[in-house]
Structure 1
Amino acid sequence: MTDVQTRPAPRASLLAAEDIRLALSAVQDPELDEPITDLGFVRSIDVSPGTAGAAVTVHLRLPTSFCSPNFAYLMASDSKDAVAALEGVAVVVVELDDHHDSGLINAGLAADAGYRGTFGHEAEDSLDELRWTFRRKAHTAAMERSLTELLRADRGLAEADVGRIRLADLPPGHTKAALLRRREALGLPLEPGARVLVDHRGLPYPPDEVPMALRRARSTRISIDGNAHFCRGLLRTRYAGSGADQNERPEGAEPGDRHTLLPITVKENA
């Protein structure tokens, strides 16, 4: 009598929509600095098991039909890369719904044409340059949150004095952890003695420029937070019931502080 061994099911058959959603949580809206899953931009996820691996289809939606095409393409492209990196996934289709450039973007994604191949002469900057720009803004906002938290905790600390604050002076917690992640993503120093208030090159400001640098950072943070709140409302207005797919972050929490950050450089064909 021949023994019949039961083989474990392939990973593809075990993949579920929640596995895909978890992978998508690493994809950020570049302008809002929040995961597309928290913002409610993921409209639907379909997973179909196959012998060679799972076929995954993801539909994305945005607050308006005229959201910036380069932002829209970046999120859709990053979504495809994030899902394709999962073990057991054989085919990934990501489609952007109800956008004025949906046809162009979806065709480019399907053909793996890359950003420049999709938009041609209209693609002024590369996706990497776009990611750098908004990752720097995200770092600026995280830097301001950390310093403002310290100022509120220490009433004896003046704004003019924050230029001397070092990473070791920040209290542990999610605000500091988020700042460290963003510094790491930009290649900025992580040593305890590194200054907190720095420019995008990691250079500290002269003492007389510190108050203005902090105010500019606060303006950046307020803009990011305000735009995120506005876009959440627009999405709920545009798509009935989409509010159920949004995760509001707790008071004082850092945007996406439960999620990892994608690397700056992701697959992009010329």
Structure 2
Amino acid sequence: VDITVLQDLLAYVSSEHGYLRELPRRQPQTLDSIQHVQLDQLQPETLVHSIIKIKNITILTESVYSYRGKKQRKVILTVEQVRDQHYALVLWGAGAAWCPQLQRKRDHIWEFTCLFVQHNSISGELELHTTPWSSCECLFDDDKRAIDFKEKFPKIEKSLVKMTNLPTHLQEKCSGLIQVKAHVLELKFTIASAQYRQLVFDADTSLECILASLPLITYTGCAKCGSELQTDDNKIYKQCFSCLPLNKVKMFYRPALMTVEDGGYEISVQVASELMEKIFLSIPADWLKRVR
């Protein structure tokens, strides 16, 4: 940048926006001053260390970029420190090469260092990004860092989760947490429209029909509680009064009624919005409107 142009710019800003000179100077971070943080306390434009648990790994086939002369695919990790409070960790450059080892030990606890925090350009939510200084380490169960993490992350004991098949479960009429394998017959969405009261996807539904129906099975809601928001006469979304002062909006998949079958038995399962996102390959609903 030409020094004269820069001086003219500073002179203009000083004369027209003098209040900017009163802002406190931002203390630059050094690699020695980076701290471990909780995911719910992230601040944008900062470098952090974090101990997290990986919930899901998504490799986006449509997002390809060059790194050191080679083609790389964008890798997004869904991570958490508190159960069901998910955040995104994007692996760039050399970090994308960690994907195989992360997949092998996905259920373990990991420490990531030198991650950069920034807002997602589409959803506006904070997410983590790897940097050239980033590293990762899988923690052993007897590591003090892993022990401290587990104390803050209560989990359901495996002994409380019963493995069974669907016919046995229905015949026993037992209650509690179970795991079953079953064949998905259909997904049924209830649409608040005079034309589409119910939208059903099954094995005979074409991919073209599913793609055309995406605007019907998504909605704009409160970013905090997920309640669907209506618009006024000016097409402005109404506020969610129960979540004020937070007034951010976000796209969600509509909940669905899933019918599964096993051994001649059928059962209906209520699928929440978060699980619908996993069914759709963990692609957030906000991404469906991106320009390709």
TM-score, scaled to structure 2: 0.24
* Higher Rg of the two aligned structures: 2
Greater relative contact order (Cα < 8 A, sep 6+): 1
User: Going by fraction, where is strand more abundant, 1 or 2?
Assistant: 2
